[in-house]
Amino acid sequence: MTIHSGDVIEFEGPEGTTSALVLLASGDALILDTLDGSTPVSVLTCELEGVRVFDPVALELLAA
């Protein structure tokens, strides 16, 4: 799965499921904003478990 800058992702973190906006994506690292007022964090993509990328097209298909 490829993650791009601007994607909204959900992943399993130390405190449970976390949603974040991908501010910057490179080949092996991401800068994430969890939109909770905290400082954005950088993570290696290999460290993320159970990543799901929000797909607005799929949501529209489900709503139709």
Tell me the per-residue pLDDT of 25-56, one tens digit each, with 9 for 90 and over. 998 999 999 999 999 999 999 888 889 999 87
CA distances from 30 to 19, 48, 55 (A): 14, 10, 18
Q: Which CATH architecture has domain 8-63?
A: Roll (2.30)
Write out pLDDT tens, residues 13-28: 888 889 999 999 998 9
State pTM to two decimals: 0.82
Structure tokens at 19: 């949603």
In the chain, where are the structural domains located?
8-63
